[in-house]
Amino acid sequence: MLGGGAAGMSAASAARRVDRGLEIVVLEATGWAAYGMCGLPYYLSGLVNRPQDLLSYPPEYFRERRRLDLRLHAQALALDVEQRVVRYHHEGQDREIGYSALVVAAGGVPGVPPLPGLGDRPTFTVRTMEDAIALRTLLDAGAVGTALVVGAGYIGLELAEALHARGCRVTVAERLDRVLPNLDEPVAAIVEKHTREHVELRLGVDVAELLAEPGFDVVVVCAGVRPASTVAGDAGALTGPGRALLVDDRMATSLPGVWAAGDCVAPYHRVLGGPAFVPLGPAANKTGRVAGTVAAGGDATFAGVVGTAVVKVFELEVARTGLTLAEAQAAGLAATATDVVSRSRAKYYPGMQPLHVRLVHEAGGRLLGAQLVGREGAAKRVDVVAAALHAELSVDDLVAFDLSYAPPYSPVYDPLIVAAQAAQQELAVPV
């Protein structure tokens, strides 16, 4: 295995389940393995106390209980597919290791735009545990009065919330004139308004100019993630969207004896009907498990993703699945969208919150995606549409779903059904 993140450790553990006697070596470039990268903002904010709390298991567990040869600070350098040998750097030396099957789980790397002035101050990307620990050390020391977050995507807003929770004055700077490019604009606008209630948000700005200003103690760069350039890519493995490794449904790359998983691959997207680069935790774990199982001689397939994601932005739950309208139109689909504002609970039940639902659908009624935003009821409700997308269902099916009702949890017509009823009306009207 190359990579000891979620995908790599899932692969190694799955391989162990298939073959109790297999020799399994994991080379991890950093000093940490098997941590929940999605937990880093909560470690920074102080909600999670110790970096160890983010580990699914400590290294000793993997080494002793699962008998994995986990080598930390081991950086892969090159791959010889013919000879089945990986060259890597470990403990000050270049070394080689042979393999019969290789799983590449190199993960993603943060994009860092080449901006003049970047690096004049302490700068972080918070993609590794080491980076998060360094930033938290500064926070704990009271050394961060003001922070500049570059990028207003998922991670940028999560980190803005975390730094705000630590009492920093936070400015979020984004080159685009909007937040969350993974959502359609009307939905992102709700998040934008909410974010402005907590931190300063500067959209459509020249970040280089901002960096020239004094007055930021630290800079956190959240300018997107791209697949790590892998030894497999260098050895000629085919790549696809976002230059991520192309894989089949058993996670085989185009190179013999080489499988891949996690944020460095472009798995099958069920709604798009082709590969997509969607670097998120659940797919990393699942593709890792499949790659490890198959590489060890077992049988498994990955059914693909539908593009489901959720993020907490201050008090808002922000969820999406499938395609946004922009993504659907970019894919050449005859898509439209329906927006409704419904409620998270019965209208008379205390604590009820508005819930914004956007459904994206094709002219014939096929569901393509959904986006939900509200103070409660968005995060897991989106999964109902994810299920519908898995089964290629329509707006009519969603209207007919028998969804749970009790006043503390939902109106009698669930917000998804309200949205689907509205979509039925809109689709029935000849354009």
Q: Which residues bind its own copies (CB under 8 A)?
A: 6, 36, 38-39, 42, 47-48, 53-54, 270, 280-283, 285, 302-312, 317, 319, 321, 346, 348-350, 377, 379-384, 386-391, 393, 397, 400-410, 412-414
Query: For its own copies, which is the closer residue by CB, 263 or 317?
Result: 317
Give the shortest CB-5-to-its own copies separation in angstroms.
12
Give the shortest CB-417-to-its own copies separation in angstroms.
8
Q: Which residues pair with 170 in a beta bridge?
A: 147
Catalytic residue among 38, 168, 222, 264: 38
Give the shortest CB-385-to-its own copies separation in angstroms.
8
Query: For its own copies, which is the closer residue by CB, 52 or 83?
Result: 52
Give the shortest CB-106-to-its own copies separation in angstroms.
19
17/43 Cα distance (integer angstroms): 31
Query: For its own copies, which is the closer residue by CB, 233 or 415?
Result: 415
Which of helix, strand or coil describes residue 235?
A: coil
Active site residue 168: no
Give the DSSP letter string of 301-335.
Answer: ----B---EEEEETTEEEEEEE--HHHHHHTT--E
Q: Pull the structure tokens for residue 322.
A: 């499938």
266/84 Cα distance (integer angstroms): 24
Q: Is 429 left (phi over 0), alpha (psi -120 to 50) or beta?
A: beta
Query: For its own copies, which is the closer residue by CB, 61 or 413?
Result: 413
Give the DSSP letter string of 133-146.
Answer: HHHHHHHHTT--SE
161/198 Cα distance (integer angstroms): 8
186/143 Cα distance (integer angstroms): 37
Query: For its own copies, which is the closer residue by CB, 167 or 282?
Result: 282
Give the shortest CB-154-to-its own copies separation in angstroms.
9
Q: Which residues are catalytic?
A: 38
